[in-house]
Amino acid sequence: MRKGVVKMVLKKVAYHEAEKSAKIICGWFFYQPKLPNAVKKLRKF
Partner 1 sequence: MIGFISEKLTGYLLKRETICQEEYEIYLFGMAQFFRKILVDATVVFLGILFGKAWEMIIFLIAFRVIRIYAGGYHAVTPFGCYLLTILMLFMVLLSLHFISWNLSILTAVWIFASVLILALAPIEVENRPIEEAERIYYKRKVRVFWILENIAILLCMVLHLRMGAESIVLAQATLGMALLCEKWIHGDVRND
**Sites of contact with partner 1 (CB under 8 A):** 7-8, 10-11, 13-21, 24-39, 42, 45
Cβ of residue 1: shortest distance to partner 1, in angstroms?
Answer: 14
* Residue 2 C-beta: closest distance to partner 1, Å: 14
Q: Which is nearer to partner 1, 1 or 28 (CB)?
A: 28
CB–CB of 25/31 below 8 Å?
Answer: no
Residues in CB range of 18: below 8 A, 6 or more apart: 39, 42
Look at phi and psi of residue 28 and say left if phi exceeds 0, alpha if psi is from -120 to 50, else beta.
Answer: beta
**Nearest-approach distance from CB 44 to partner 1, in angstroms:** 11
